[in-house]
Amino acid sequence: MYELIEKSTPIVQKYGGTSVGTTSRIKDVAKRIAGQYKEGWTKIAVVVSAMTGETNRLVALVNEVNPNCPAKSYDMAVASGEQVSVALMAAALAAEGLQAEPFLSHQLGILTDSFHSKARIKSINMDRINQCWDSGIIPVVAGFQGVTEALEITTLGRGGSDTSAVALAIAAGAGFCEINTDVDGVFSCDPRIVKNSQLIEKMDFEVALEMASLGSKVLHPRCVELGAKFQMPIIVRNTFTPNDHRRTCVMNLANYNNLEAPAVSGVTLDKDVAKITFLDLPFDTAIVSGLFSAIAEVGVNVDIIVHNMPEPNSKTMHLGFTTSKGESKKAIQAAQSYWAHKYPQKALEVTVEDSCAKVSVVGVGMRSHSGVAATTFSSLSSAGIDIRMVSTSEIKISCVINSDHAEKACQVLHKVFVEN
Ligand code: ADP
Ligand code: ASP
Ligand code: MG
């Protein structure tokens, strides 16, 4: 990608938690950036995550103090991991003889809405970054965090530094956004789960977005959404391989012939799934809509929804749906308070299963290949894996299964669709 653009073009490079996980890694990253700067790439902006494990440590501290921590305090605490790495990276660049300046989001003006823990970026003020570039200084920006108009610190959701980087690339008019991580790129499945995973060299935004949204952790879904909206190419590469090593380029492949695309490009796994079931609800659309409106009002995302009758000719139904594990309690509380208000005579009966996982197969070729669902179900069934819920779109099939079988399900589906 570097060979396709002028050296004066802005470039955003993001380094994830493992890439800045130790001081020696930070120094190695600084050496790479210094090398590129000295070659003439003078408009690099660096975005960094917290050192590996740090955000988890901060989340645990908050939960120890208060599992229902108010959103502002939560975000202020968990955003602090990036403050350390941004300063260390600027210091390491200075040790390489470069001028670098560390920035937190409020210093730059990375403005977000006020939905704490899942804030969305509204705008980025480029003044200070442009001043840096004009003065030969490399700006180093804290990922994951933003600030509201009222100067409250917000965070963009776990893994959100990717989104900070792509948003900055768009604001800067960069040639591309480079996501430097601990694997060579986006693979057909998480290489830690499926040994034979294959690197996908060129990926359309559409497939990348579906894979990211369905649990492939390597890219934050909202960074792909932004990349697609503003046509910003995203390069995913390994921090510690040479610059010409294999990698993934996520870009617009609209001219790519779907007929020739494989039915399935990737298999994804999401273990952050809770299945909630409301038992014995009357068949009444108003009740169902009331329950889901109450859940939506507290900001919980509901994923797969199914309903079934406990027995033939039953007058009631069971209504099952999934949320992330962290949000299941909030969803149940919202539904229960709606129900208690509407039907005080009978308590809402609820069951929750936390031992769920969602395995999905994704590919634009599904549009023109039939039989993908049938093969998915028969492969899982032959491996003795029960499917509890299913959801489909034009380019994906997702199955909710018991989390004990999660890795095996990925291996089985990868073998049948990608390795064959
Ligand atoms: P970073 O800290 O650099 O942001 P992440 O841990 O967020 O890195 O993402 C990289 C990890 O994503 C990899 O180590 C890998 O285990 C996981 N991963 C999940 N699915 C995929 C996939 N399809 N391709 C590549 N990596 C994946
Ligand atoms: N440090 C944050 C997290 O661990 C953001 C990121 O790494 O992208 O979720
Ligand atoms: Mg990440």
Closest ligand to residue 21's CA = 1
Closest ligand to residue 155's CA = 2
Q: What is the pLDDT of residue 259?
A: 57
d(CA 386, CA 384): 6
Residue 206 · residue 252 · CB < 8 Å: no
Q: Check the CA dihedral 369-373-377-383 and report its sign.
A: positive
Closest ligand to residue 191's CA = 1
Q: How far is the CA of 114 from the CAs of 117, 125, 291, 354, 406, in angstroms?
A: 9, 18, 25, 29, 35
Ligand 2 mutation target, pool 110, 144, 168, most atoms within 8 A of CB: 144
Whole-number Å distance, alpha carbon 266 to ligand 1 midpoint, is 14
Whole-number Å distance, alpha carbon 294 to ligand 2 midpoint, is 30
Residue 357 · residue 406 · CB < 8 Å: yes
d(CA 394, CA 243): 36
Question: How does DSSP assign 292-355, residue by residue?
Answer: HHHHHHTTPPP--EEEE-SSTT-SEEEEEEEE-HHHHHHHHHHHHHHHHHH-TTSPPEEEEEEE
Q: Which residue stretches of 185-265 are H helix?
A: 205-213, 221-230
Q: Is 173 left (phi over 0), alpha (psi -120 to 50) or beta?
A: left
Q: Whose CA is nearest to atom 8 of ligand 2?
A: 159
Whole-number Å distance, alpha carbon 50 to ligand 2 midpoint, is 6
Q: Check the CA dihedral 320-323-324-326 and report its sign.
A: negative
| Nearest atom of ligand 2 to the alpha carbon of 16 | 7
- Of 68, 299, 268, 45, the C-alpha closest to 161 is 45
Give, for all 420 residues of the chain, the pLDDT tens digit: 888 888 999 999 999 999 999 999 999 999 999 999 999 999 999 999 999 999 999 999 999 999 989 999 999 999 999 999 999 999 999 999 999 999 999 999 999 999 999 999 999 999 999 999 999 999 999 999 999 999 999 999 999 999 999 999 999 999 999 999 999 999 999 999 999 999 999 999 999 999 999 999 999 999 999 999 999 999 999 999 998 899 999 999 876 555 567 889 999 999 999 999 999 998 888 999 999 999 999 989 999 999 887 777 888 999 999 999 989 999 999 999 999 999 899 899 999 999 999 999 999 888 888 899 999 999 999 999 999 999 999 999 999 999 999 999 999 999 999 998
Contacts of 51 (CB under 8 A, 6+ apart): 17, 20, 21, 22, 81, 84, 85
Q: How far is the CA of 305 from the CAs of 15, 58, 308, 321, in angstroms?
A: 37, 33, 10, 4
Whole-number Å distance, alpha carbon 54 to ligand 2 midpoint, is 9
| Nearest atom of ligand 1 to the alpha carbon of 211 | 23
- The set of protein residues with a Cβ atom below 6 angstroms from ligand 1 is 16-19, 49, 159, 181-183, 186-187, 189-192, 216-218, 266
264 secondary structure, DSSP code: -
Contacts of 239 (CB under 8 A, 6+ apart): 15, 16, 18, 19, 25, 28, 29, 32, 180, 181, 182
Whole-number Å distance, alpha carbon 370 to ligand 3 midpoint, is 34
- Of 354, 207, 395, the C-alpha closest to 271 is 354
Q: What is the pLDDT of residue 374?
A: 95
pTM: 0.94
Q: What is the pLDDT of residue 257?
A: 55
* Angle at the Cα of 155 from the Cα atoms of 151 and 159, rounded to 5 degrees: 160
- The set of protein residues with a Cβ atom below 6 angstroms from ligand 2 is 16-17, 49-50, 55, 81, 143-144, 158-161
